[in-house]
Every structure is written in structure tokens, then in C-alpha cells.
Amino acid sequence: MNDITPATLKHVERPARPGGMSNALVFGWRAILKFKHVPEQLFDLIMTPIMFTLLFTFVFGGALAGSTDNYLQFFLPGILVQTVVFNSVYSGMGLSTDLGKGLFERFRSLPIWPLAPFAGLMVGDVLRHFIAGSIILAIGLMLGYRAEAGVFGVIGAFLLLFAVGFGFGWVFILMGLLIRTPMTVMTIGFTLIFPLVFASNIMVEPETMPDWLRAFVDHNPISFITTALRGLMGGGVTFQQILLALIAPVLLTVVLAPASLVAYRRK
């Protein structure tokens, strides 16, 4: 082993302090590197939505909507919502994994914007949502889905999906901060998400449901989001639908982002 060369030990002064946004982008870069080094994570992200798409379209589609084509047209925007919400669990798991190791100790002993690591997680999330969403959409198009609102509708839909992923991401970031084992984060996460996703209008319209359930489905934030997304992709979306869809993501961010910061500081 070499001695340290004196040249390296020359006193290195700290450069001008970078802004919070710059810190966040560095963490985002880390998230992107993770895709490069751990590409298998993508497999986890898209297998479930692909299975759901194929299963529901071909097994239940005909019975639910008269024909598989009709059902795909109805179901595809919903499965995009489901994918984004399911996938937001992963950033919480990743955070819980990072915290279990010494990595965050170093981040916390650096003079950086304290929220930067989370912002970086969010960048990774957006990327994940974009990749998974694109793959699902591509498969849908191959199976015969048509986005009647065209390219701008699809772009609008993806922007809404990012907002949804951002908002729901805080739930799991907070859980990642509070729960020590990544597996528990996943288990609790899915326990919360499953009823929310299934008792919504993602898979079927609620007309045939009992009144009490229908009341829940009609006020489920996932239903608002799905309705807005159908409107965006299929045409005919209203301003009010988009506002309703944004309530949950905005509320979650306003309440949980500060809560996450407190939990992080207290650790």
C-alpha cells in the first residue's frame, strides 16, 4: 500500500456553497446511476403492471366491458395510476435500506440542504414512473389501445402521474424513515395501498357495488386521479377533474414533507 502522496494532502478548501437545488440534482444523479448498476429493479417495477394489464384485459375484459378492446380502452389509464402508486413504495424501501447502512450518517454530517437526499429520491421516482409508464403505454398501444386525446393528452397524463407519484412518495419516505426494515415498509405499504387501489374505479365502474362501498369509491382519491387521467388520455377532461385529482398529492406533500424532515432530523 502506498503512502498518501503529499500532493493530495495539500489543503483543499471548500468551494462556494452549492444551492439546495444543486444538492438535490446530485442525489438525482445518484438515483440514475442506480438504474445503470441495478437494472434488475426495473423488472420488479413493470412485471406486476404487465401481468395486470394482460390478465384483466384478456380474462375479465370481455365479461366486464363486452369486449377486450373496450376494456383495454377503459383499463389502461387506471393501470398507469396503479403502477405509479405501487412503485412509490420502492423509494421508501430504498431509503430504509440506505438508512440501515452508514451512508446517511455521512450525508447528515455534510453541510448540505437537509431535504436534498429526499429530493434526489423524488428524481429517481419520477424516472421510475416515466420508464414504467412508458413501457405499460407501449404494451397498451401494441394491444390496441388508442389515446384519443393524442400526444398532448398523453403528456398531460404523465405530468399528472408525476404529481401523484411525488405526493404518494412522501407517505413511503416517512415510513422509510420510521421503519427500520425495508421488508416491513413494503408489507405495510402494500397493505395500505391494496384496498385503496382495488376499491376505486381503476378496474370497474362502481355502479354495481353496494352503496357503502360505492360511497367510498366515489370519494377515493385514487378514483379522482383515474377519472382525470382517463379524461386526459381519452379526451373530455374538465378543469374540475384535474383539481380533484390534485387534492391528495398536494395535501400529502404539504403535511408529510415537513413531517419527514422532522423525523429525519430527529434520527
Partner 1 sequence: MNSPDTTDPRGTAALAISARGLVKTFGKLQAVAGIDLDVPRGMIFAVLGPNGAGKTTLIRMLATLIAPDEGKATVMGHDLRDEADAVRSSIALTGQFASLDEDLTGRENLLLLARLWGFRGRQATGRARDLLEAFNLSDAANKQVKDYSGGMRRRLDIAASLIVTPGVLFLDEPTTGLDPVARQGVWRMIRDLARSGVTILLTTQYLEEADQLAARIAVIDRGRKIAEGTSRELKATIGSGFLHVALGDASDIDRASALLEAKLGHPPKRNVEGGALSIMADTPKAANEAVAALMADGIAVTDFSMGTPSLDEVFFALTGDPAEPEKEQAS
* Positions in the binding site for partner 1 (CB under 8 A): 1-9, 11-18, 22-23, 26, 29-30, 33-34, 37-38, 101-112, 116
Taking a C-beta distance cutoff of 8 angstroms, is the pair 200, 223 a contact? yes
**Based on CB atoms, which residue is closest to partner 1, 52 or 264?**
264
Helix, strand or coil, per DSSP, at residue 211? helix
**Based on CB atoms, which residue is closest to partner 1, 103 or 254?**
103
Q: How far is the CB of 16 from partner 1 (least distance, A)?
A: 6
User: Which residue type occupies 152?
Assistant: F
DSSP state of 208: G
Residue 47 CB-density burial (10 A; 0-12 exposed, 13-18 middle, 19+ buried): exposed
**Based on CB atoms, which residue is closest to partner 1, 72 or 115?**
115
Q: Of 231, 225, 228, nearest to 200 (Cα)?
A: 225
**Based on CB atoms, which residue is closest to partner 1, 180 or 219?**
180
Q: How far is the CB of 174 from partner 1 (least distance, A)?
A: 20
Q: How far is the CB of 83 from partner 1 (least distance, A)?
A: 23
Q: How far is the CB of 211 from partner 1 (least distance, A)?
A: 50
Give the DSSP H/E element, type plus range, for residue 263: helix 239-266
**How far apart, in whole angstroms, are the C-alpha atoms of residue 212 and residue 235?**
30
